[in-house]
Structure 1
């Protein structure tokens, strides 16, 4: 195990200390990435589909291949294991360095399994990341075989995290079908993400201020939910707050339904199109909440309020 930790530290050091866009291809062999994926899969396999987390903890939203921004957020907020993290999914696609993003996060996960939780987003699924950039990145830089190995890992990742039994974290949103947390323990992995049901909602669902309960989502997967649905869900499961990602928000975070839900987005200047900030939500041991904000320096770009991240 000592040799494994030493090897993992070299992976982390290369990515944190040596990486530049020009060096991205030369830092790793494909065999190293395959080995890292197999070790990450073993680590995820040991976790439940809903991971229990104790505060203090920092919670991050979508990263989408923006590796330089991931490093900037770590430098601003602290690296594992100095800080404990929950990431809400969508590590790949859109941005140019998805392999580096999952490489660093997988290395931290294997190195410090109790200090970083990596949840599955809707982009950690073959039908999505085949279309939005990750497949082509793997094919161009390494091979389609490596792409398949990454899917092997994604399909074993947990779907939600429960912080001190009071804050539920997921990528997408709540599910009308989730009546008690025992249902999460009965989810069998590895698994794909269906179009409907609990797993679809946890990875795809969105809040909608214009409805009360649940309606079909315009995304074509899962459902959207209103304030009444959210209040009933939190009451039934004894929750104080829902933390989710999945949508771009201008300030990096945005509350919904009298602060019963917050959307976190952690990829600033998303897709090089919007001047959105990134946010990290920090939860103290006493369950006090604050936000660390990272704003891009790019000027004169289109502003937004909330935008769907496919």
Structure 2
């Protein structure tokens, strides 16, 4: 069923048969009967009801005898949509007119070879539609940011200017960027643009935004296994009395560069976000977002690759960095690399959208200047991957030469490739780069450097986040829900206030009707596997 909000905003267009046939491209035939179909012909279909179909199907299959059988009834009373209630228009071509919208309502009249009334619904006035930005030569950063928020990729000249602006910002930052609380720490994004927008809604909005729309993600709390065990009887009782219960369990993780092995989960459920304190159990807040006026953001790398909109995702983050340099901290991940992006999608995406690799090269130059780590109020270290046997103190990170392609070994490599694991000290990583580090290593590093916690990303966590080791000295934050559009995992962001107590907001992927998919791209591509 179509949400009532969309019904209220519907735009009606009435066609007579001549208009309809004229509007179709020569590549498409008019809507005709076919009594030979085993599925039943249009003549056999219920012509007295209004139906809803996808625009894609309306354009591609207007003559299919199966077409009428697939339609979904929306209203039972055909008198509700009389022809005289619509506004008569003659769009030049139906296929050029309809792609602006998501759903089409057809009223099929008896013995008529084509629909007599088409009722068109906007996908949503707030859902960005991807495409090329239309910018004049005098446009600047404000216009670029506005276009980036709409999932529009910038012209080549603007993108190169933006990369230069961001490089200048990054050159002034040290290898370890100090960040003050309150701060929102975000894990891997991987080109999932629409989920990045939802992340900002969960966090209370992008820098500079006010009156943020409530999050629209839906989480089935029955399907979430919270990584923090709930031991407080009062909290257990509170959760049992909420709309849906949660089972206490420990989370699992998967390497983000291996084939995803996430357990399938339902995407539907109640409209809510879930917040969890690291040691205080889980608290559910319905439709609540906090203002982001003083909020800082740390993104822990892996902005690109695998997702449909890596270019638009990185463009938005760069626009925010250039506009609010003190509010946005971009940490380098292992995918911010020339070699990796040529394998996992970002290079190919730039080639497709610009016809050359020039923008990709400019983005790679920005990658070279991304910071290696951030430290929150001097006590929470934020890196993409993990620790290195060559680094014992935070000061040793400060002197790493970062303005280069990620090397195959050494301290720089380890910071973006290493993982925590149940080992004594160090072990060889199955990734082929970085190391596996254990409880003793993490505890010693935190003690020597006066740290309370190491926050990192780099690994898929089905439950959105996971504490490692007995003393919870390391936490993994994962911010790409339904990773690769197939894993079914939830995602999280970690909010750190002045008391330095982590609180996690868990969210799921935005629904299908609130995201766009590039033409010809349903499901994961080869480089997702």
**Cα deviation per residue 1:2-47 (whole Å; 9 max; x = unaligned)?**
xxxx82221222222x33xxxx4xx521111111011111111110
Question: Residue 262 of structure 1 aligns to a residue in which SS?
Answer: strand
Instruction: Give the corresponding residue for 2:482.
Output: 269
Question: Residue 55 of structure 1 aligns to a residue in which SS?
Answer: coil
8 Å CA contact 1:269–1:298 kept in 2: the answer is: no
Question: Residue 281 of structure 1 aligns to a residue in which SS?
Answer: strand
Asked if 1:65 corresponds to 2:65, the answer is no
Question: Residue 140 of structure 2 aligns to a residue in which SS?
Answer: helix
Asked if 1:199 corresponds to 2:412, the answer is yes
Residue 433 (structure 2) aligned to one of 213, 221, 233: 221
8 Å CA contact 1:275–1:298 kept in 2: the answer is: no
Instruction: Give the corresponding residue for 1:247.
Output: 459
Residue 34 (structure 1) aligned to one of 160, 168, 175: 160
Shift of 1:298: 7.1
Distance in 2 of aligned mates of 1:124 and 1:242: 21
Instruction: Give the corresponding residue for 1:281.
Output: 494
**Cα deviation per residue 1:210-234 (whole Å; 9 max; x = unaligned)?**
x110011110001111111111111
Distance in 1 of aligned mates of 2:412 and 2:177: 15
8 Å CA contact 2:165–2:322 kept in 1: the answer is: yes
**Cα deviation per residue 1:125-164 (whole Å; 9 max; x = unaligned)?**
1111110001100111112111111111101110100111
Number of equivalences: 288
Distance in 2 of aligned mates of 1:182 and 1:206: 21
Question: Residue 75 of structure 1 aligns to a residue in which SS?
Answer: helix
Asked if 1:183 corresponds to 2:416, the answer is no
Asked if 1:234 corresponds to 2:446, the answer is yes
Distance in 2 of aligned mates of 1:217 and 1:202: 13
Asked if 1:113 corresponds to 2:325, the answer is yes
Distance in 1 of aligned mates of 2:510 and 2:498: 33
Query: Which structure shows the bigger proportion of residues in helix conformation?
Result: 1
Residue 358 (structure 2) aligned to one of 121, 131, 145: 145
**Cα deviation per residue 1:42-81 (whole Å; 9 max; x = unaligned)?**
1111100110111110000000000010011112212124
8 Å CA contact 2:372–2:402 kept in 1: the answer is: no
Distance in 2 of aligned mates of 1:116 and 1:272: 27
Distance in 1 of aligned mates of 2:407 and 2:427: 17
Distance in 2 of aligned mates of 1:120 and 1:46: 15
**TM-score of the two chains, using structure 2 as the length reference:** 0.53
Asked if 1:75 corresponds to 2:288, the answer is no
Question: Residue 472 of structure 2 aligns to a residue in which SS?
Answer: coil
Shift of 1:182: 2.3
**Cα deviation per residue 1:91-128 (whole Å; 9 max; x = unaligned)?**
00000101111111111111111111000000001111
Shift of 1:184: 2.4
Distance in 1 of aligned mates of 2:397 and 2:165: 24
Q: Which runs of 5+ in 2 are unaligned?
A: 1-138, 209-292, 513-527
Question: Greater CA radius of gyration, 1 or 2?
Answer: 2
**TM-score of the two chains, using structure 1 as the length reference:** 0.89
* Structure 2 CA distance for partners of 1:185 and 1:297, relative to 1, 3 Å: closer
Shift of 1:166: 0.7
Instruction: Give the corresponding residue for 1:47.
Output: 173
Shift of 1:89: 0.1
Q: Which runs of 5+ in 1 are unaligned?
A: 1-5, 300-308
